[in-house]
Chain A
Amino acid sequence: MKKLMKLTAIALASALALTAGTASADKLKVGFIYLGPPGDHGWTYAHDQGRLMLEKELGDQVQTTYVENVPEGPDSERAIAKLAETGHELIFTTSFGYMEPTLKVAKRFPNVKFEHATGYKDSDNVSTYVARFYEGRYVQGVIAGKVSKTNTIGYIASFPIPEVVRGINAFLLGAHSVNPDIKVKVVWVYTWFDPPKEADAAKVLMDQGADIITQHTDSTAALQAAAERGLYAFGQASDMIHFGPKTQLTANVNNWGPYYIARAKAVLDGTWSTANTWDGMAEGMVVMAPFTNMPADVAALATKTAESIRSGNLHPFTGPIRNQAGEVVVPAGAVADDGMLAGMNFYVEGVDDKLPE
């Protein structure tokens, strides 16, 4: 039933999106596959902001199309193929679950360039790109460690994949760097976007004593739930200050625009090649929203921490780091390499949760 409705929704959405653009031969057609609606003010919103930047920067040289609300998994294959069939030469698939469908479609359309966000598999015409969100989460952890009065932070997690686990670990390491008593309570909601459920999770975490909520889901519902109780929260993927002027401490803002511009330019001048981009604060792919609703000294500390990460003086995953069993996984003085970060499937010591299998 639900699936049927989803399919109807995709069919509708694809029809809408694809009829919106009119074909024109000399322009580079750039397609985007979105997981949610561009108005989620989270993940998809951030990608759409990137798309708009691309349009603004390259003007007449490009024409963009997006398909929204495309479910992850096999269903997405048709939506991606549809873009490829309709003359799009560069296609961004913006969620982890589009990985296999993207590779499959890419094989059928060797002349089309594909860019898959947050994945780890590439091919001759599939690049991957992701941002080092964990850098921002470390800064958030530092802030939470200073601001929390109950020493309990609520973390709303989506799916147990390395990306999310890495975020939880970075947050905890940041918090413990300034306050070893911080406890992080994790709730898995198994969805990227389900506002009532995200709000439920936030309420439950606050019921259990959390006074700061952070999330790895895409809607503003959790932040709004914290606002209703007069507590604090972090925005996710975009600056959500508008939804909680007295609630948001800061937000990880995903800044995809410069990357989209660079890749489209590369296609235009024929220099595009497969790349695995993993940029962070230094390159400006992760930007922190203004530090608000906190004492000046905490804001100063957060600014300093972000600056150290940006300049490369501080790596969030600097040893010694132990896993939950107490074994040293990163020795003192070393930093976790990208391989470990990309495949992270363990909690660091101190996370108050058992990682779902």
Chain B
Amino acid sequence: MTELIIASIMTMMTAATPLVFAATGELVAEKSGVLNLGVEGMMLIGAVFGFAAVTLTGEPLLGLAVGILTGLFASMIFAVLTLSLLSNQVATGLALTIFGTGLSALVGLDYVGKTIEQIRAIYIPVLTDLPIVGRLLFGHDPLVYAGILILGLTHWFLKHTRWGMILRAVGDSDQSAHAIGYPVIAIRYAAVAFGGAMAGLGGAYLSLVYTPLWAEHMTAGRGWIALALVVFASWRPTRVLLGAVLFGGITILQLNAQAAGLGIPASFMSMLPYIATIVVLVLISRDATRIRLNAPACLGRPFRAER
């Protein structure tokens, strides 16, 4: 029984990790006031280019870097359109997802059915062998730790650094931030870039670690889950981890329930994270102060400098 619980938690952590990356990136972008609905597309782009890089060179680290860079590049298309040319963020984000789906399918044609050496779980003698906590603390793949680290750094950055506060100020009141003299557009570019890089990394995690292969549309909606997750976490990095484990975990629990023959309908369990998101939305919209505290006030609004 303990063995099953440990194993299930380990599997849940790998299911949560791509969500942690993508949601952390999106959270930072949204905190600066930009709503980028292209997460799914950027993940796919990161996944296919990361995989292609490893297939061609055999270097897993290079694959991750390529995933990050291509995700970042895709987000820059979005940034130019929405921040410099002031196009509608929702429509542009959706377009980015459709573009990413198509582009990744096209680029991926040559890589379907290929396989690579997977990035494996770490093993530290003695520590990993400790009973119970050993594998839970020291037995994941390196990216799981990276995800938690990035999440912690993001939390620290947003809450305790000067630039983090400026970023939040830009998201809460772009005009005031501009009046004081902060470069609103430049800061938003940086936030969107971080969002793209993290989505790309999340995608590369799927194709390099989760299942070492490329398949068309392999993110299967995880980008949308990451978007829901940001709202679910009410824009707090600490809650993103909880949400990611919950959202990723539900899938694993659903399969676990089936394998154990519990007879709970699979579709019911898969629905739960979305219901939870709606419940959270309803709860936070009832309390006006809380929204003001957490949700970026300028989310989704284009910024035009008024002089």
Contact = CB atoms under 8 A, between A and B. Distances in A.
B210 interface: yes
B206 A224 contact: no
B272 interface: no
A199 B258 CA distance: 15
A221 B211 contact: yes
A353 B115 contact: no
B256 interface: yes
**Chain A: interface size category:** 35 or more
Given A37-B216, A224-B118, A200 B15 contact: yes
Q: Is the interface of A mostly helix, strand, loop or mixed?
A: helix
Interface in A211-250: 219-221, 224-225, 228, 242-243
Contact of A40 (B15, B112, B211, B255): B112
Given A40-B112, A224-B118, A200 B263 contact: no
Interface stretch (A106-114, A186-194, A289-297): A186-194
Given A196-B220, A204-B256, A208-B260, A228 B213 contact: no
Given A200-B255, A204-B259, A220-B115, 6 more contacts: A2-B221, A9-B105, A40-B215, A194-B218, A194-B220, A208-B7
B258 A187 contact: yes
Contact of A185 (B4, B211, B218, B261): B261
A196 B259 contact: no
A224 B8 contact: no
A220 B211 CA distance: 9
Residue of B7, B106, B263 contacting most chain A CB atoms (<10 Å) = B7
B266 A188 contact: yes
Given A185-B261, A221-B211, A39 B112 contact: yes
A204 B213 contact: no
B118 A228 contact: yes
A154 B102 contact: no
B102 A12 contact: yes
22 contacts: A5-B98, A8-B102, A9-B105, A9-B216, A9-B217, A37-B215, A37-B216, A39-B112, A190-B266, A196-B219, A197-B220, A199-B210, A200-B255, A204-B11, A204-B255, A208-B260, A210-B259, A221-B211, A224-B118, A224-B212, A353-B261, A354-B261
A353 B257 CA distance: 11
B113 interface: yes
A12 B8 CA distance: 40
B290 interface: no
Interface of A: 1-2, 4-5, 8-9, 12, 37-41, 45, 69, 154, 185-190, 193-201, 203-210, 219-221, 224-225, 228, 242-243, 352-354, 356
A270 B24 CA distance: 64
Nearest to A354: B263
A201 B113 contact: no
A41 B7 contact: no
B98 A8 contact: yes
A9 B106 CA distance: 10
A204 B102 contact: no
A220 B259 contact: no
Nearest to A219: B215
B112 A196 contact: no
B231 interface: no
Contacts of A203: 11, 14, 252
B213 A208 contact: no
A224 B211 contact: yes
B211 A225 contact: yes
